[in-house]
Structure 1
Amino acid sequence: MDSPKAPQQAELQSILLADLLAGDPDAAEALVEACKVHGFFYLDFRDTSTFDILELVEDITTIGKETFSLSLKEKEEYSTEKDLPSRLLGYKRAGCSVGPFSGRRDGYESFSIHNNGIFGDESMIVPRVIQDNLSIFKDFLIQVHSYTDRILAILSHALQLPYDLRECHRKDKRSAANLSLLQYLPWGSSDDQIGNMAHTDMGTLTVVFSRSEGLQAMLPGHDDWSYISPRPGHAVVNVGDSLRFLSKGKLTSSLHRVVPPPDSDGQDKFSVIYFLRPELDTKLTTDDGTEIDSVEWHNKKYALFREDSLDAKKHGAILTGRREYLGSTAD
């Protein structure tokens, strides 16, 4: 009898953040190449100069798990549906969206905190455990935003763009940027609610801190899924649609999803994710040549995440970046 085939693993660049901050040309070249070819890379935080953010991630994970331990009734008091149409703040229960498998719903709950509430003057109503620890969230957001700022500076220069990408990603200006905590239902605990749908991210850069397996990408030139395994001391970073638009198509926004890895029944998955997104009035030119404000693109695409059902012809290009393709598969 043949042994089971090992799951396919994505081979991605690992880039030391400290080298990017120090202006190392080889690290900058590796960054640009990764954003062009795969749209995904590992960002290594293990240098002593950048290690602090990993400790903040641990603190935020503890706070997040305490938040998710509240009753569903209490969590629903902070529903993202009270923050329409952008849904940048609040709680999302599992099962709100289409899942990665045909006929199934998603299998994660989330809580989001938006930059406008941390750095701006927008009000935030959050559970007490988050309210009492907002300084931790602010410290994290200050650090991660400064690191994404450095990445944008390198990309702007290397691509010879007619503008500096940092100018439309100022943290104290109104944007759709936010921090999201995602807790997945234990793998195998539900037949109806599993993982996270196939999609490209709508924003600029996504920075994912997680110790758990389950993330897959369909990289350019491929029609099959590859796992992106977590690495200690690293985040997984990916390019979103907005950065692809702003780079005039020079950078890649790759399709990805979250599914149960092999032999994972009973295991859980928790992620701390920073979604860097442009300021609300940033002009984007989409694939069909339409000019659209960043906030309009965000709201248009985010609405698809709450659709009861999706149509490949109508929604495929927006959701997955591939015409008439939704990415749902049989499990």
Structure 2
Amino acid sequence: MSSANTNNEPLETFPNLPPFPTDIPTAPLLRLSLSELGKSEAESASLFKASKDLGFFYLDLRGDQLGDALLDESGRLFEVSKALFDEGPEELEKFDYSGQGSYYGYKGLGKKVVDAKGTKDRNEFYNAAKDDFLDQSLTPFAHPATLMKNKPLLTSYTTHAHELLTRILNHLNSHLAVPASTLSRLHDSSLTSGDHIRFIRAPPQPPSDLATALGAHTDFGSLTLLFNRVGGLQVLLPTTNTWAYVRPLPGHAIVNLGDALVKLSGGLLRSNIHRVVAPPGEQSASTRYSLVYFMRPGDEVPMKRLEGGVLPRLAEGEVEEDVTSKEWISDKAMAGRVGAVVEEDKYKKRITNRAELGLAVGEEST
């Protein structure tokens, strides 16, 4: 285990891409090893520390059978992502399901606001449900041809990503000292849930008109698994209240915690504010592709803090809202979509305690 910006070992770069600058502040994410997590209590303790302190960490996937499979599949899915967005907005907009109250499908450029002023985003993405690829959706959506012809790969990646994040849940479960398998049961892959893959494309921005591609936010699921190769992701450092880049590292995934785990842990775990800006330095001329897997509790899981272990208890007289994961996440997911119909009061009510998350006015969950 090491911190990505304090060790002296040279950091690798991605082939065929401009180098990430060496003269800009980078976030001190801990670098954990998947293979070490399986055999080292110290590595597991570091994971728990990172999950409480910053809520972000690097995970070196190399040298582990599951990790190596994910590295191979994520590399192939970057090519699928390019082919997907090459279909063009006119074709992909046929798969925009926001009018049906769903966050699945395509979101075009400028279809989401990034701040309280209503500034529009500068990326496009496509959300594809876990349950579609595992053939357990009650009402599966149609997907573009590029995805359908790669369904076996997407099914394998979905299975492996969920398995990896379940390992992380099991480590957190142990350190929270709640009954064995509590967290993994709430996120079992057989449960209908909001888990999904997201393909993201952010084109280069004109140097004279650089803007935030994705506004400051916290993720509202449980765990996020991110693969990217071009910089642009920034986290807000809680100790200094300043933004710092997260440098992409070959062989690593970036993992971060979301609001659902903050909620379930009574605020003990951390969901940290982050955003996406234009890539730094020479990378600014590059198109930024990202591959994300969002893990969320099963649809019918009550969004209430767990009991027992080291978790803080509810204050005397404190009553939590009776809401399911599906309701809690759906309201948050559609907020911020241009033209989406949202019950604003319900959305504001369900934003996780801002004191726990450090969110400021005008910032959002996503």
Q: Distance in 1 between matches of 2:349 and 2:338?
A: 13
Shift of 1:64: 1.2
How many residue pairs were aligned? 319
Secondary structure (helix, strand or coil) at the match of 1:299 reads: helix
Counterpart mapping for 1:18-33 below 5 A: 18-20=35-37, 22-33=38-49
Secondary structure (helix, strand or coil) at the match of 1:272 reads: strand
Secondary structure (helix, strand or coil) at the match of 2:59 reads: strand
Instruction: List structure 1 runs of 4+ shifted beyond 6 angstroms.
Output: 308-311
Instruction: Give yes or no for contact 2:219–2:258 (8 Å, CA) kept in 1.
Output: yes
Counterpart mapping for 1:288-299 below 5 A: 289-299=320-330
TM-score with structure 1 setting the length: 0.88
Q: Give 2:177's aligned residue.
A: 160
Shift of 1:255: 0.4
Instruction: Give yes or no for contact 2:115–2:363 (8 Å, CA) kept in 1.
Output: yes
Q: Give 1:252's aligned residue.
A: 270
The 1:112–1:308 alpha-carbon spacing in structure 2 relative to 1, beyond 3 Å, is closer
**Counterpart check, 1:37 vs 2:53:** yes
Counterpart mapping for 1:59-138 below 5 A: 59-82=76-99, 84-87=100-103, 89-99=104-114, 104-119=119-134, 120-122=136-138, 123-138=140-155
The 1:93–1:192 alpha-carbon spacing in structure 2 relative to 1, beyond 3 Å, is farther
Extract unaligned runs of 5+ from structure 2: 1-21, 306-313
Instruction: Give yes or no for contact 2:204–2:278 (8 Å, CA) kept in 1.
Output: no
Aligned AA for 1:206? T
Secondary structure (helix, strand or coil) at the match of 1:58 reads: helix
Q: Give 1:176's aligned residue.
A: 194
TM-score with structure 2 setting the length: 0.80
Q: Distance in 2 between matches of 1:168 and 1:97?
A: 30
The 1:114–1:75 alpha-carbon spacing in structure 2 relative to 1, beyond 3 Å, is same
Residue number among 267, 273, 280 corresponding to 1:262 in the alignment:
280
**Counterpart check, 1:318 vs 2:347:** no
Shift of 1:304: 1.9
Instruction: Give yes or no for contact 2:34–2:64 (8 Å, CA) kept in 1.
Output: no
Shift of 1:99: 2.5
Q: Give 2:258's aligned residue.
A: 240
The 1:246–1:23 alpha-carbon spacing in structure 2 relative to 1, beyond 3 Å, is farther
Aligned AA for 2:362? L
Q: Distance in 2 between matches of 1:208 and 1:96?
A: 22
Instruction: Give yes or no for contact 1:86–1:298 (8 Å, CA) kept in 2.
Output: no
Q: Give 1:214's aligned residue.
A: 232
Q: Which moved more, 1:183-192 or 1:250-259?
A: 183-192
Residue number among 47, 53, 73 corresponding to 2:70 in the alignment:
53
Q: Give 2:336's aligned residue.
A: 305
Shift of 1:327: 4.7
Q: Give 2:9's aligned residue.
A: none
Deviations 1:57-104 (A, max 9, x none): 11111111111011322111111325x4341x3111010111369563
The 1:230–1:316 alpha-carbon spacing in structure 2 relative to 1, beyond 3 Å, is farther
Q: Distance in 1 between matches of 2:56 and 2:82?
A: 27
Secondary structure (helix, strand or coil) at the match of 1:146 reads: helix
The 1:187–1:306 alpha-carbon spacing in structure 2 relative to 1, beyond 3 Å, is same
Identity level (%): 29
**Counterpart check, 1:197 vs 2:230:** no
The 1:236–1:297 alpha-carbon spacing in structure 2 relative to 1, beyond 3 Å, is same
Shift of 1:236: 0.7
Q: Distance in 1 between matches of 2:70 and 2:163?
A: 12
Q: Distance in 2 between matches of 1:193 and 1:315?
A: 26
Instruction: Give yes or no for contact 2:211–2:277 (8 Å, CA) kept in 1.
Output: no
Instruction: Give yes or no for contact 2:301–2:325 (8 Å, CA) kept in 1.
Output: yes
Secondary structure (helix, strand or coil) at the match of 1:170 reads: coil
The 1:160–1:94 alpha-carbon spacing in structure 2 relative to 1, beyond 3 Å, is same
Aligned AA for 1:306? R
Secondary structure (helix, strand or coil) at the match of 2:95 reads: coil
Aligned AA for 1:96? K
Instruction: Give yes or no for contact 2:232–2:280 (8 Å, CA) kept in 1.
Output: no
Aligned AA for 1:118? F
Instruction: Give yes or no for contact 2:121–2:214 (8 Å, CA) kept in 1.
Output: yes
Instruction: Give yes or no for contact 2:231–2:280 (8 Å, CA) kept in 1.
Output: no
Aligned AA for 1:12? L
Instruction: Give yes or no for contact 1:215–1:227 (8 Å, CA) kept in 2.
Output: yes
Q: Distance in 1 between matches of 2:233 and 2:277?
A: 7
Secondary structure (helix, strand or coil) at the match of 1:14 reads: strand
Shift of 1:285: 3.0
Extract unaligned runs of 5+ from structure 1: none
